[in-house]
């Protein structure tokens, strides 16, 4: 609820579990509207906090795994030792890993909290919980019809071109700006002496510009390409 209050511009709203009640005939019997509990912080403060939380999911932040291409994500990781109810203090081998956040930062549509009680392989919130936040949020945004406002990383697209670009299509000046030349798509050459192999054409990847006789991609490097040896 605290994170939702930041997303709502400082307003704390009463949680709603049921949006509306519909009869067997399809008519709406009752619809529940958001109820304001109180204003906890000023809207300006909420906007500042939201922007600060974006740094968590960007390069160098603890929640980079929660980043979603085309969106600004505000979030916070959590890594906590569980209390030792027998000896007192905190346990050394039992943890709670969490990530809370909302997206898009500029116009929040989803607020979510992911928590793992005593994860086994790793216990850092940024490693365990953040990736799940990303996967759930990506599907929820598609379901809600929320389109990206930013260009995906390393595509060479301008922000206004991103929404118009269909999956697999190459906008003017974008990934296929120069036929057969991946440098037009912002793809960096790999080190000399490496043997290129053809990369899979998965949705959202840019190696399409690397296929052909002049360029190739390494699977271990994704879209980093080099000229084929002559």
Residue range 2-144 in CATH 3.40.50.2300: no
Q: Taking residues 46-73, what's their average pLDDT? A: 95
Q: Over the stretch 148-207, which tens digit does the pLDDT of each residue have?
A: 987 766 434 454 444 444 444 444 334 333 334 444 444 444 444 443 433 444 444 444
Q: Which residue has the higher pLDDT, 39 or 1?
A: 39
Q: Over the stretch 91-133, which tens digit does the pLDDT of each residue have?
A: 999 999 999 999 999 999 999 999 999 999 899 999 999 999 9
CB neighbour list of residue 93: distance below 8 Å, 6 or more residues apart: none
Question: For residue 1, what pLDDT is reported?
Answer: 81
Question: For residue 150, what pLDDT is reported?
Answer: 79
Question: For residue 43, what pLDDT is reported?
Answer: 94
**Which residues partner with 28 through β-bridges?**
22
* Cα 203 to Cα 165: distance, rounded to the nearest angstrom: 12
Q: CA triplet 49, 53, 58: central angle to 5 degrees?
A: 150
Give the dihedral sign, CA 158/163/166/167.
positive
**The whole model's pTM is what?**
0.63
Q: Over the stretch 16-28, which tens digit does the pLDDT of each residue have?
A: 899 899 999 999 9
Q: What is the 3-state secondary structure (H, E, C) of 12-30?
A: EECCCCCCEEECCCCCEEE
* Mean pLDDT estimate for the chain: 76
* Cα 149 to Cα 70: distance, rounded to the nearest angstrom: 6
Question: For residue 230, what pLDDT is reported?
Answer: 42
Q: Over the stretch 55-65, which tens digit does the pLDDT of each residue have?
A: 999 999 999 99
Looking at the chain, which residues constitute the CATH 3.40.710.10 domain(s)? 2-144
Direct distance between the N- and C-terminal alpha carbons of the chain, in angstroms, rounded to an integer: 61
Q: Residue 72 above 70 pLDDT?
A: yes
Q: Over the stretch 74-85, which tens digit does the pLDDT of each residue have?
A: 999 999 999 999
């Amino acid at each position: 609820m605290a994170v939702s209050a930041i997303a709502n511009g400082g307003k704390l709203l009463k949680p709603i579990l049921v949006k509306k009640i519909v009869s067997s005939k399809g008519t709406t019997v009752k619809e529940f509207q958001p109820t304001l509990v109180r204003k906890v912080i000023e809207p300006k403060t909420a906007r500042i906090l939201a922007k600060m939380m974006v740094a968590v999911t960007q390069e160098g932040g603890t929640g980079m795994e929660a980043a979603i291409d085309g969106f600004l994500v505000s979030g916070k990781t959590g890594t906590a030792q569980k209390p030792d109810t027998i000896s007192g203090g905190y346990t050394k081998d039992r943890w709670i890993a969490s990530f809370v956040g909302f997206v898009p930062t500029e116009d929040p549509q989803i607020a979510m909290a992911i928590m793992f009680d005593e994860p086994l392989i790793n216990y850092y919130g940024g490693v365990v919980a953040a990736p799940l936040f990303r996967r759930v949020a990506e599907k929820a945004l598609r379901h809600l019809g929320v389109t990206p406002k930013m260009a995906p990383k390393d595509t060479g697209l301008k922000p206004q071109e991103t929404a118009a670009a269909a999956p697999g299509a190459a906008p003017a000046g974008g990934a296929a700006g120069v036929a057969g030349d991946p440098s037009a798509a912002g793809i960096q050459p790999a080190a000399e002496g490496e043997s290129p192999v053809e990369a899979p054409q998965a949705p959202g990847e840019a190696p399409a510009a690397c296929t052909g006789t002049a360029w190739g991609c390494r699977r271990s490097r994704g879209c980093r390409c080099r000229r084929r040896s002559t």
